[in-house]
Structure 1
Amino acid sequence: MVETLLTPNECHQQSPLLFWTIIAVGSRKYSENPTLIILLGPKVSKLAKLALFAQEPVLLTIQAFLLLCSWPMPFEALSNDITPVLAGAVLQLATTIGLHVSGVGQEFARTKVNQDLTYRMARGRLWAACVVVSQSRVITVNGTPPLVIPDTYGDDSQELSTFMTPSFQFQKKVSEYLSMTILYIQNHALYRPADELDLALSPIIHSATDRLVQLESDAPERIDRFHAMSARLHLLSFHLFKHRSAIEDSTLLVMYELACRTIELAMELDSELSMAEYGPMYITKFLHSAVITILRVGRAAVAQQLDLERGQRNYFAVINYHKRHAVRPDDAFARFSIILTQLWTSRKVFQYSNGLVDSLRVRSKARLGMSMVYDCFWWWRQEFGGQSNVYGDHHGDENSNHILDDFAPSLDSDQLDLVDLNLTPIPDLQWPVFDKFFTENWPSLDLDMSI
């Protein structure tokens, strides 16, 4: 991602933000000094805020922001996560200097720009990184509308192949296709009346997911397959906005199977690449959709048609993945492992006031394809965070599952490196974890920024 060949001293001189971002990202799992990331995190975040309004060096600033979007500084709640802001800033900064236009950006410069081919290729690679990281890996998994910016590079042009690997080209294609499909769903189907929603929504989902199946078969690498599968599952989740009677059982079975396959592929990659420890954050965010799909579909009436043991095994794998991905014992991903555990063992989640358990109903569409995830954490807040039901006391769908009195989820200690379930829930929550947690007591930073 980082194109600079500068020496450390040169990098620090030209962009202290990029220099300290590289150091901080490298220190996330630095066992010889685990306090380093705690010291550097706030300083890097402060430098990032200052860089938003700096005129130069924009190219180095964009690279630093992309690194921070992929490996952010530790945060204790998603309300403190600055990656969505950085992702939007990346696209704005990139278009301001003309990265979306093939070439060297002469039309966006005040002086003559060197026409060097290496510089031209570096700009193209950086733009592709902006698209992939900002659109699908941050904005989409945040549940906000993607920012789709047309560029002049095309999909399969010879120019792309000169500076992008087949894997990166593939991920750019999947990212752009997912983003455009989400916007099309939002504009043409999502807010139709309930009796028209299925007719408007289903053809779009079917067409888009069929295309992603084709793309998946052409994936150059297994990590590319993971991205295509995650994109497909993201689009399939829009089915849960429909009335239960309009959701075919076959669709739910496909979602469950795809969620399991996505997690299993991620765990294979993790065993080879230690992705939980060193992989980017958005891998973990993609897994949220998969694990919540298993939770929801596994508690629906189709449960008897599912391989529930397989689903449980994958659900537990994601819990343990979160624990290993966490940088601090109190950061958001460590807390996610607790939340996912409590959701799994809960007997009240998805249970409405009329006694029905409706795990397939998503109470809000505001978070687009991530709504089923956000809605789950609102269920968690109601039961474990002392929060009231913000959606009102509506009844469950009469076509949904009945009370599952015999449902007793188990926790197999051989599969799950279990967190402490006897923790006292902390009130006054900020979705989905905690509003403020320890960071106000972090050490003051007077770091010597010289080398």
Structure 2
Amino acid sequence: MDNGLERKPSERSPGVRRACTECRQQKLRCNVISGPGDYYKPCDRCSKAKLDCRIDTGFKRKGKRAAHGEVLRELEEARTKLRQYESLSSLGRSEAVASRGLIDLSQSCCQEESSVRTLQHITLTETQLGELYETYFSSYHPFLPLLNPDYDYRHYHGLHLLLHWTIISIAARRYTGVPGLLFQLQRPLEELLWSTVSRVPQVYHVCKALALLCTWPLPSSSTSQEPTMILVGIMFQLAMQHGLHRPSHAQDFSRVQVEVQEEDIVDRLNTWASVNVVAQMVSTGQGQPSLSRWAWYSYGQHLSKMKPALQGRCQIEKFVDTVTKTLYTMQRDHVVDTDEVQRALQIDMYASELAELEITLISTGNSIFDIIHLKAAGLHLRLCAFFSKPSQPNYATELRNCYISASSLLKVVTTLNEDVFFFLPRYVEQMVLAAAIALFKLLHSSYATQIDSADSRILFADAVTALRRLSIRPNDLPQRLAEVTAQLWMNAQSQSTDDHLQLKVRCRGSLSLLFDAIWKWRQQVSNADQSLERAVEHPTVVLEQTYPLDDTFDGVNFFDTLSWMLDQDLQPLDNVNWIDYKT
């Protein structure tokens, strides 16, 4: 039989192709009829989709992954060529000389001009770029005064593409000029971020972008999937690789001739200070060991040239680091017993040191931004009360001081003006959450009779409201954690008083309190993650009404130690109604 048409269907060789090219590519069943002779009937799928139904004898199926990978490789090659072109002007010169704009590529290349305003499929106008930069420097910059407001967006784009788009993405968090801009930018910015760090950046300005991204992370709904701690490690190691810890000796860390001028030393010093401040905040806020190094701040050169705003922040975070290493590192778990008397003396010493620091900063004209971080540092110190043993003599005093610190922080944050409140960094959110959990635990313990329950319940409700207002997208971390806190409160109303304030989670520093509460919530709620996603759409009820704080309430000054000891008749507020707090 020389002709295949003479074979019976049962005698066909298994290698004959009976599917059209389109169906073979998609691995779908095909009913194409080819033959006998020139007879050809297209398959139903191609006819319905109006596709060219044909059988190609030389066809070889190509997987979607391979095609997608080829596109990504081409895109990466294009980006690499663009980076090489951008770096041509800086060969043989220092990063500082290049950054001062001796060669402005944005004026000589239309592709460069496009990259200033365009990231993948997102294009902004010059007016929008100007508004976004103005928003960043007026609202976000005061919390981390790393950059120079005197420069425009072209300057920062010239320093590094990642820094430019990081500034834009942070400003887009509350920007109304382009609805949904942050969510459009998130995926392209993440791709730019990881492609940048994977190639070992050759300029230290990438550290600035990483510091900003760690201070205001891109929105996420899961703490386990948020890469902030990873980015902090990359930022810190990259800073040392470029010699920022020795700002006046950049040549020692470069293989080419580096021309370092006075302004470059100052910029490297301010960047190194910001790297340490951010590393300390992230470590404290996530309950992890600190990466920051502070010996340079005590003995380093050129400290007088640092920005005054960064000087105060360095003093605060250096204090936080000392507290962490003394009170929370390998001493507050069940493995090592500590001398409780010595520990109490250390706590009192640190409290006095913090009070002196606050007086110093106030005398030099400190801002609300320093006050917020001073209150957070005080809470960080006082949260160690939950690691203390109930049998020690000053246990009640430690709990009282913790209550005062938590109330003081919440009072400051919940009464902030909107032009400050809506731009708070993630670290402040985390400390507000810890303060709310501290109030929750104290108000549902036998120590509730020793505190002002009415004001405390109001502060707790205000804290939940504040966290919900800080949300920038549905189901993000502030919204989810606020809902967890509210559910913990409501679940506790039907339970008896919990006199056991000891923590099961004890290795997350001062934030062990928060992670312990989250574990407790998970034990109370079945299918916790799915339940939480539904609950954030219908937030849990808190207080029906807010009772305004008395005008005499003034943070720590409200709680006089002597009168506290005499006031034994405070009773918890009963019969409080509950409703949803609108955000």
Please give the range of the TM-score, normalised by the shorter of the 2 chains.
Answer: 0.7 to 0.9
What is the Cα deviation at residue 259 of structure 1? 0.9
Aligned to 1:160: 303
Shift of 1:342: 1.0
How much does 1:223 deviate? 2.3
Mapped partners of 2:200, 2:400: distance in 1 = 52
Counterpart CA distance in 2 for 1:385 and 1:161 is: 56
Q: Is 1:104–1:113's contact at 8 Å kept on the other side of the alignment? A: no
Partners in 2 of 1:123 and 1:4 — Cα distance? Answer: 17
1:296 partner amino acid: K
- Offset, 1:348: 7.2
Which residue of structure 1 lines up, in the alignment, with residue 515 of structure 2? 374
Contact 1:322/1:337 (8 A) holds in 2: yes
Instruction: Tell me the equivalent position of 1:216.
Output: 358
Work out whether residues 21 and 44 of structure 1, in 8 Å CA contact, stay in contact via their aligned partners in 2: yes
Compute the displacement of 1:25 (Å): 1.0
Distance 1:226 1:180 in 2: 19
Shift of the alpha carbon at 1:148?
3.4
1:282 and 2:427 equivalent?
Answer: yes
Aligned pair 1:253/2:253, yes or no? Answer: no
Letter in 2 for 1:343: L
Partner of 2:175: 30
**Counterpart pick for 1:134 among 279, 290, 298:** 279
Matches for 1:240-319 after TM superposition, within 5 Å? 240-246=386-392, 248-268=395-415, 270-271=416-417, 273-275=419-421, 277-319=422-464
The Cα of 1:108 is off from its aligned counterpart by 0.9
Checking the alignment, whether the CA contact within 8 Å between 2:375 and 2:405 is kept in structure 1 is: yes
Corresponding residue of 1:19: 164
Distance apart, 1:42 and its partner CA: 2.0
Higher Rg: 2
Q: 1:240 to 1:332 in 2, by over 3 A?
A: same
Which position in structure 2 is the counterpart of 1:417? 582
Give the superposition deviation at 1:160: 2.2
The letter for the 2-side match of 1:36 is L
* Rounded Cα–Cα distance in structure 2 between residues aligned with 1:186 and 1:178: 11
> Within the alignment, does 1:358 sit opposite 2:499 as a pair?
yes
Name the amino acid aligned to 1:146. Answer: S
CA distance in 2: counterparts of 1:381 and 1:348, whole angstroms = 17
How high is the TM-score relative to the length of structure 2?
0.62
Instruction: Work out the percentage of aligned pairs sharing the same amino acid.
Output: 24
How far apart are the structure 2 equivalents of 1:207 and 1:24? 42
Deviations 1:137-156 (A, max 9, x none): 2111100011132453437x
Higher relative contact order (CA 8 A, sep 6+): 1
Distance 1:193 1:336, change over 3 A: closer
Residue 248 (structure 2) aligned to one of 103, 126, 129: 103
* Contact 2:250/2:260 (<8 A) preserved: no
Cα distance in 2, alignment partners of residues 342 and 194 from structure 1:
34
CA-to-aligned-CA distance 1:47-79 (integer Å, 9 cap, x gap): 222222333343221111111111111101111
d(CA) in 2 for partners of 1:152, 1:174: 15
- Maintained 8 Å contact 1:17/1:64: yes
Letter in 1 for 2:312: F
Shift of 1:116: 1.0
Structure 1 window deviating more from structure 2 (282-291 vs 206-215): it is: 206-215
1:193 and 1:374 mapped to 2: Cα distance? 20
Q: Normalized against structure 1, the TM-score is what?
A: 0.79
- Which secondary structure does the structure 2 equivalent of 1:140 belong to? helix
Q: Distance in 1 between matches of 2:294 and 2:488?
A: 41
Task: Report the alpha carbon displacement of residue 319 of structure 1 after superposing the two structures with TM.
Answer: 1.4
Q: 1:282 to 1:163 in 2, by over 3 A?
A: same
- 8 A Cα contact 2:214 2:278, kept in partner: yes
Amino acid across the alignment from 2:171: G
Deviation per residue, 1:110-149 (Å, 9 max, x gap) = 12222311111011111111111111x2111100011132
Residue of structure 2 in register with 1:175 after alignment: 317
Whether the 8 Å contact between 1:12 and 1:18 is mirrored in structure 2 is yes
Shift of 1:100: 1.3
The residue matched to 1:101 in structure 2 has which SS? coil
Partner of 1:148: 292
- Distance in 1 between residues matched to 2:151 and 2:368, nearest whole Å: 32
Pairing of 1:36-75 with structure 2 (within 5 A): 36-75=181-220
The alignment status of 1:207 with 2:349, answered yes or no, reads yes
Are residues 248 and 411 of structure 1, via their aligned partners in 2, closer, same or farther at CA, if it must alter by over 3 Å?
same
The equivalent of 2:477 in structure 1 is: 332
Say if 1:62 and 1:94, in contact at 8 Å, map to a contact too.
yes
- How much is the aligned-residue C-alpha RMSD, in angstroms? 2.9
Structure 2: which 5+ residue stretches go unaligned?
Answer: 1-145, 529-571
Amino acid at match of 1:308: S
The 8 Å contact of residues 17 and 61 in structure 1, kept in 2 or not, is answered as yes
Asked if 1 retains the 8 angstrom alpha-carbon contact of 2:453 and 2:573, the reply is no
What is the CA–CA distance in structure 1 between the aligned matches of 2:290 and 2:350, rounded to whole Å? Answer: 16
Find out whether 1:230 has 2:376 as its counterpart: yes
- Letter paired with 1:162: K
